[in-house]
Amino acid sequence: MDEIVPGLHHWTALRETIGETVHSAYFAEARTLVDPMLPPEGLGAFTGLPKPEVIVLTSRHHRRHSNRFVDAYGCSVVAHERGLNDLRDSPFVVRGFKPGDEVAPGATVEEVGVLCPDESALHVAVGPGALAVADGVIRRADGELGFVPDQLLGDDPAAVRRGLAEAYLRICDAREFDVLLLAHGAPYASGGREALRAFAAANA
């Protein structure tokens, strides 16, 4: 687990259900986990840090290892209200949020809602500002931003790509941030807003 800016911790872990390495984050001051997998070091990675209290799912598909954190720390779990039906089988209670809700101190939900109705982003006022996104944009092995393959974008991939680009442009215009966290791909410790804006503008 690495501290990419003061108070923001990032790590990767293999998500066996999809056979890929995925990314998770912890905002220590807000005591907020985002799409958490268990770090390779286990829960011991959080020794000396403020105890996690809130888990934010940027997509209903990102429960991941939330149950491990609920069991260990008693965390509350929140997700977009439009995704709650698919989370009813969770072994923990999931509360719904709406875009614009502050789900933890300094942590505010931004709506994306293109790839799926409950797709969200989370803006957190830490350091220069950080934005965590779900599955609408990924960072490829070459370091560039991209979309997931067309077969994952529904019946009209071109329209979905445009919709995602427009959503990210709106967020970039509305929010100040420098750090960009992706559920799938390495984070930008700096320059994230500029990278996301340029990518979105090229695809809008």
Q: What is the CATH number of domain 2-203?
A: 3.60.15.10
Residue 19, pLDDT score:
83
Residue 201 has pLDDT above 90, yes or no: yes
Distance of CA 184 to CAs 22, 133, 152, 195, Å? Answer: 5, 9, 14, 16
Question: If 0-12 CB within 10 Å is exposed, 13-18 middle and 19+ buried, where does residue 155 land?
Answer: exposed
What is 8-22 written as a DSSP string? EEEEEEEETTTTEEE
Q: Are 81 and 57 in contact (CB under 8 A)?
A: no
pTM: 0.95
Domain residue extents for the chain: 2-203
Residue 16 has pLDDT above 90, yes or no: no
Task: Report, as an integer, the average pLDDT of 131-142.
Answer: 96
pLDDT digits (tens, 9 = 90+) for 155-178: 899 999 999 999 999 999 999 999
